[in-house]
A and B are shown apart, each in its own frame.
Chain A
Amino acid sequence: MKLNKIILFISLTISLIVAAILCLTFGASKIGLYDTVYTLLHPGSENIFQSIIWQIRFPRIIFAIIVGAGLAATGCIFQGLLRNPLADPYTLGTSGGAAFGVTLCVVTGLLKSGILYMPIFAFLGAFVSILLVYEIASMKRFSISTLILGGVVLNFLFSSFVLFIFSIMQTENVHSTILWLMGDLSSARIELIKIISSVVILGIILLSLFSRELDILTLGEEKATYLGMDTENVRKIFFIIASIIVGACVSVSGIIGFVGLLIPHLMRKITGPVHAVLIPASALAGAIFLTICDTLARTIIAPIELPVGVITGIFGSLVFLSFLIKSKKWEIF
């Protein structure tokens, strides 16, 4: 690896740690930097910040890091697989599917019978929608336009189901479901932190290991085959791993927009398109981005908490817009 790549990774990692620690200090009660670091370094000590830091803020920030990394990494994967720099993890109908799953969970009353039902339903909804789109596309010799259009249509279909259910649902449930749809880390279950973190981190490592295959796939199915790649199997592996990661993220955070689109896009300008560098770099940048956004969401109009999806949405689209206007020739690639 070249020196500038190593510097990039070191500075991203340091930024992530610094951002995470700084974000730990913010919240309803402000905790000084010294106290925060002290509490972090002495987990057993008895001080008043112990429970706020370790039980409330720390898990929340870990979720932000994991979800941010997961969404940004899968954004790279879907952009590569679809050969389209404007794809995101939700392109294949994931968001609609997950929303439908969650709404079903709420409407059937399962939500009240166990806290794990909601993430499970979200995961299944997301996963099933990707499988459906994949199946539809494979009937059409796997054309990319079928994949993208299939995703769009399925998203519409599922969203319409959701709206249908909303319109006949009791209002109290509608509010919490809408919050979830906007992307919200406040309801993430601490019980899930270990499993979600391991799934996402393991997934990102696997994706990075197969990154050469993804580089070749961006040349298109035809050329990849001519270079000796079994494109069907490779594609399947990527889709399955990426779908599991997206499903895992969605299950704890709802639909957080723009991270998976914007971060890989920005990072590609810095690292270039080679996925061995792009995937881990995007994962780190995504983690930083979502950690900051989520802290803003917690604190900006405290004591009211915003869904983080609102912040990423506003922030992301403004950055994208300035991109669009500033660049002399619009190089989305």
Chain B
Amino acid sequence: MGNILEIKNLVCGYVEKEIIKQVSFSAKEGEFLGIIGPNGSGKTTLLRSITGLLKYWEGEVLYNGRNISKIPLREFAQNVAVLPQILNINFSFTVQQLVLMGRYPYLKKFQSISKKDLDIAKNSMSLTDISHLTERRVGELSGGEWQRVLIAQALTQEPKLLLLDEPTTHLDITHQIETLDLIKKLNKEKNLTIIVVLHDLNMASEYCEKIIMLENGEIYREGTPEEVLTYKNIEEVYKTIVVVIENPVSKKPHVVLIPGKEGTNEKRTHTNLHG
């Protein structure tokens, strides 16, 4: 299996501020890749430059070997779907209308929605288990349902690569698990390559095959959850004391937070906890 996405020496940022500094990594076809890092480490910026929304300053982003700046927007959208972190809609479209918008990159000017488009949308809705919500309007959806609608819309683009920016923020644990289970299912069943920015280290640990840990716009560590999610790496990057244990069921690393005590000497706590 080849690399579906390859990022070489990427440098980018906003106006004058350089945010991503010399980042290189690649995603294999069918891989489930997570990007983690503290606030301001450049996760969202990295995602935005991978999608071409933000023009990068230096380096290259290759999709299946082609430079993304050379791929027309529509063609790109037929291959790569993106779920931004925040998506507010002030207009009450129905679920089906929203999901059908995923066909936009395929429709020529003035071409109307065909039976085939509708079938694809219906299929995405059943995959994401929202078929019963077809005629529901945006404002009437719960957070978890809304997230599934957005995923269904993305699937309707029939992408090979799905990029998600913190899809579980604002969701309770049930819906966090539900959303990530769904993404995992799509990854396995449709061989959809996933690149997901995650806040929650344990979610990243449970679901991702490979994790990229960012610090100040650079890759601090890259590898399997076991390799990246060590207490040393986390304490170094997040400046927070943690203990990493093993999840008794999945055997994946599990990060446990240690609340800071006033006046506690950091160094001492460190030794106490980790022997």
Residues of A near any B CB (own CB < 8 A): 80, 83-85, 209, 212, 215-216, 218-220, 222-223, 225-230, 268, 272-274, 331, 333
Residues of A close to B77: CB separation below 8 A: 226-228
Cα distance A306–B76 in the bound complex, in angstroms: 56
Is the CB of B30 closer than 8 A to any CB of chain A? no
Closest to A331 in B: B139
Residues of A close to B51: CB separation below 8 A: 225-226
10 contacts between A and B (CB under 8 A): A85-B91, A209-B110, A218-B89, A220-B87, A223-B87, A225-B73, A228-B78, A272-B93, A272-B94, A274-B97
Residues of B close to A228: CB separation below 8 A: 73-78, 104-105
Contact B90 A225 (CB under 8 A): no
Contact A212 B87 (CB under 8 A): no
Contact B91 A223 (CB under 8 A): no
- Tell me which of B78, B90, B107 contacts A218 (CB under 8 A): B90
Closest to A332 in B: B90
Number of B positions contacting A (CB below 8 A): 30
Cα distance A331–B138 in the bound complex, in angstroms: 12
Q: Scan residues 95-144 of chain B and give those whose CB is less than 8 A from a CB of chain A.
A: 97, 101-102, 104-105, 107, 110, 137, 139
Closest to A273 in B: B91
Cα distance A220–B94 in the bound complex, in angstroms: 17
- Tell me which of B82, B92, B101 contacts A272 (CB under 8 A): B92
Residues of B close to A225: CB separation below 8 A: 51-53, 73
Is the CB of B88 closer than 8 A to any CB of chain A? yes
Residues of A close to B93: CB separation below 8 A: 215, 272-274
Cα distance A225–B68 in the bound complex, in angstroms: 14
Is the CB of B81 closer than 8 A to any CB of chain A? yes
Residues of A close to B137: CB separation below 8 A: 272
Residues of B close to A216: CB separation below 8 A: 101, 104
Residues of B close to A85: CB separation below 8 A: 90-91
Residues of A close to B110: CB separation below 8 A: 209
